[in-house]
Structure 1
Amino acid sequence: MIRIGFMFDRDRPPSELTGYAALLESLGADDLWVVEDLGWAGAIASTAFALAATERLRVGIGIAPVALRNPALLAMELAMLERSAPGRLVAGVGHGVPEWMAQVGASTPRKLALLEETIVAVRGLLEGSPVTLHGREVTIDGVKLVHPPAAVPPIVTGVVQPKSLELSGRVADGTIIAEGHGPSAIDDARGHIERGVAAGSRPAHELIVFAFLRVDDDPAHAASVTREAIAGQAAWLGVPPSSVFGLTGPASELPARIAELEAAGASTVVLRPLGPDPDAQTRAALAAMTSRS
């Protein structure tokens, strides 16, 4: 059965994170996902607080840019999180927004090499093995974690372009599809991912779809609330706003829209509530999904 998660939006005050995590757990959600965008909040600290505030909820990092994270340090942080809350962590990594990476002097022309080598190095360290890797972007020379976790958490990527999607299928445990991608775009992305899966050796691959959420019976009000976010995502994706997929409308329509994503191959859908009332949006969405089942 499809997993239903929610994003803790980057614009929410960090002080609301633990309360939102507890709310999701009390309502029966499967996942909470945190983000790491330049200037907002750090994903490792956010994940630690969310895991500490809950007992069952899975917490995903969506995503940590590998250009900002030394693989050894990232593995040390992930090992601590996984040991503290076994089986409840999903480690999401990605290239990072090019403009933001340039702002902090972390740009590289070899983005694919950096992502792949980071995943390989981090996974090896989390397995408890001594790791030596002299790659094009990553250097690890005989490093071994003293406290590796009992099991390696899933390492997933948040990527968009075909070559990155294929890389994800080959070396990662899952792929995050960004907000705005509807069933046809997901199907197209799956084609690239599955080529990578066929060439790799990972045992399974989770397809995680992020989606905008606005439960609202008034179409005009829903459009006004979501307009800015959808316009921004459209610009980032290079598509017109009308092409941006979102779960916007009456609660009764929500199960069918999520079913569309599931039919396209999504195994997890992460809803990003838009508007000034994310907790109420969350309650309404989960109530609609519960009524369906």
Structure 2
Amino acid sequence: MCFDRTFPPSFVTEIARSLDHGGAGQLWVIEDCFFTSGPSLAAAALSVTERLTVGIGILPAVVRTAAVTAMEIATLYGLGPGRVLPGIGHGVQPWMGQMGVRPASPVTALEEVMVAVTRLLAGEEVTSHGHYVQLDAVQLDQPPADPPPLLAGVRGPRSLAMAGRAAGGLVLAEPAGASYVRWSLEQAGRSADDFHVAVFGVVCVAKERSEAYRTMAPWLGRQLDHPTPSLTTLPFYDDLAARYASKGIDGLATVPPEWWIEMAPVGTMDDAAAHLRSLEDAGVRSVGLYPIPDVDAARAQVADVLELAAR
């Protein structure tokens, strides 16, 4: 399950305990500027659980120095050995500009950070004189004994190619279907066999497909207003866009079930399970399911996430 950026920080321990006791594998905490801090939420979740893995999606590369990012990850790993999946990405560039840290080349900045953090987590002494990472004989005092894969939260072809060189895997933002996963791996030049792929999806399960589709149609419309490769790589994207252009939200509420199954865990419980199976067949190892961004609604949706986790 994903912990929405709008949730109050205190809610993270309740959700983490519920997932841990119920048998879910992971909780993904979201760091978006200027909402809540990913490492703080992750520390809280790790401290109240015994088996739950906590993913961080994502730490913006240039907000912290590479050394501090490595310290954060190593500290979290010390709190929950083997239970941390850290993601680093570009961050939203206008937000970076608001803080005065927007890089001239986001891809170069992220690659330098990924390389430096990976080496620091491996226990190396690192000296770097790059465009964005400046380190002079820096070495962590308590690096992880078995460092986690460092995942790159990216989308575009150039960034995915960089991830293939410098990262241990990917975090793919929603909507992420199997076709998008395969395309992303192709752009990265990597195989899912040795590259940890995590994806996010927005979950909406109902007894009747039509109810779930009506609920999620406005969300899909917002995605189509600003399409990214997660949509444009769909085999039916042109037909989907044409339907939206001609029929609007009503057209999205009546798309074929197989389209929704490809795009997201939306529909019946069987439909959501079919979506997850298709992701696993494409090589996905981790899935974070976004609930409705309301505390009471999310609390109720924990049962759906646990049922899917137990399938």
Tell me the TM-score normalised to structure 1 length: 0.88
1:213 corresponds in structure 2 to 203
2:289 corresponds in structure 1 to 271
Q: Does 1:259 align with 2:283?
A: no
- 1:139 CA drift (Å): 0.8
Contact 2:18 2:302 in 1 (8 A): no
Identity of aligned residues (%): 36
Contact 1:179 1:211 in 2 (8 A): yes
Q: Which deviations, in whole Å up to 9, do the C-alpha atoms of 1:115-147 show, x marking residues without a partner?
A: 111111112222222110111221111112222
Q: Where does the alignment leave 5 or more consecutive residues of structure 1 unmatched? A: 1-5
1:280 to 300, 304, 307: 300
Q: Does 1:104 align with 2:94?
A: no
Rounded Cα–Cα distance in structure 2 between residues aligned with 1:235 and 1:96: 21
Q: In 2 relative to 1, CA 28–266 (structure 1 residues): closer, same or farther, beyond 3 Å?
A: same
**What letter is aligned with 1:146?**
D
- Secondary structure at the counterpart of residue 117 of structure 1: helix
Deviates more, 1:238-247 or 1:18-27: 238-247
**What letter is aligned with 1:217?**
K
Deviates more, 1:235-244 or 1:175-184: 235-244
1:49 to 35, 44, 49: 44
> Which portions of structure 1, spanning 4 or more consecutive aligned residues, are displaced by more than 6 angstroms?
none
2:135 to 140, 151, 170: 140
**What letter is aligned with 2:77?**
E
Deviates more, 1:160-169 or 1:264-273: 264-273
Q: In 2 relative to 1, CA 139–94 (structure 1 residues): closer, same or farther, beyond 3 Å?
A: same
- 1:229 CA drift (Å): 3.8
Alignment of 1:71-86 (within 5 A): 71-86=66-81
- 1:231 CA drift (Å): 3.7
Contact 2:24 2:309 in 1 (8 A): no
1:222 corresponds in structure 2 to 212
Contact 2:206 2:269 in 1 (8 A): yes
- 1:288 CA drift (Å): 4.3
Rounded Cα–Cα distance in structure 1 between residues aligned with 2:51 and 2:205: 26
Contact 1:66 1:96 in 2 (8 A): yes
Alignment of 1:96-245 (within 5 A): 96-193=91-188, 195=189, 197=190, 204-219=194-209, 221-238=211-228, 240=241, 245=263
Superposition RMSD on alpha carbons, in Å?
A: 2.2
2:264 corresponds in structure 1 to 246
2:236 corresponds in structure 1 to none
Contact 1:61 1:91 in 2 (8 A): yes
Contact 2:43 2:76 in 1 (8 A): yes
Rounded Cα–Cα distance in structure 2 between residues aligned with 1:29 and 1:274: 18
Q: In 2 relative to 1, CA 175–218 (structure 1 residues): closer, same or farther, beyond 3 Å?
A: same
Rounded Cα–Cα distance in structure 1 between residues aligned with 2:164 and 2:201: 21
Rounded Cα–Cα distance in structure 2 between residues aligned with 1:178 and 1:63: 10
Contact 1:83 1:150 in 2 (8 A): no
Rounded Cα–Cα distance in structure 2 between residues aligned with 1:43 and 1:58: 14
Tell me the TM-score normalised to structure 2 length: 0.83
**What letter is aligned with 1:189?**
S
Rounded Cα–Cα distance in structure 2 between residues aligned with 1:65 and 1:289: 29
2:82 corresponds in structure 1 to 87
